[in-house]
Each structure stands twice: as C-alpha cells, then as structure tokens.
Amino acid sequence: PAPREVIPDLSAAEALSQHEAHSRLIDTAARAIEALGIAARTHPTPRIGHAYFGPMSPRQTVMLLTGHTRHHVDGLRSRITGS
C-alpha cells in the first residue's frame, strides 16, 4: 500500500543552501525528462508506476509532476505572502 504522506528529511534539506537546492532540483528534473523521453521513444507502451494513480505514460507523468509542483509553489507563495 502507498504511504499516506511522504515527509522529506528536514535535516538533509536544511543542510543545502538555496543555490544547492535549486541546482539539485534543476539537475534532477532534467534527468527525469531525459529518461522519460528515452522511454517514450524506445518502448512501445512505457509506464511509470504511481502508488495512487497506477501505471502512467511518460506524458501523463510529466503532466502530474508539473501540476504537483505548481501546487507546492502555490503553497509556498501563500506562506510567504500570507494570502
């Protein structure tokens, strides 16, 4: 069964500078997009397993990750602005 919530290790996150966290995010996202593109081109029906949504195509995965990231950006923006 899927976990109800995944909470990152705060001590690991706090050890990163803002620049390091940003660089890691950009690097990881680029590698993920590259891997999803390769899977889409080389496998007839590639699927990425998701704990709640089940098997998803690379395109569906990118759409989900984009929406999820926007959700977190909105939450951070609200915390910063108080709105």
Q: What is the mean pLDDT of residues 22-50?
A: 88
Residue 26 confidence class, pLDDT cut points 50, 70, 90: very high
For residues 53 and 63, give the distance between their C-alpha atoms in angstroms, rounded to a whole number: 13
Residue 2 scores a pLDDT above 70: no
Q: What is the mean pLDDT of residues 41-66?
A: 88
pTM: 0.63
- For the CA atoms of 63, 68, 72, 75, the dihedral, rounded to the nearest 10 degrees, stands at 100
Residue 63 scores a pLDDT above 80: yes
Q: Copy the structure tokens of residue 14.
A: 């706090």
Q: What is the mean pLDDT of residues 34-57?
A: 88
Report the mean per-residue pLDDT for the chain. Answer: 86
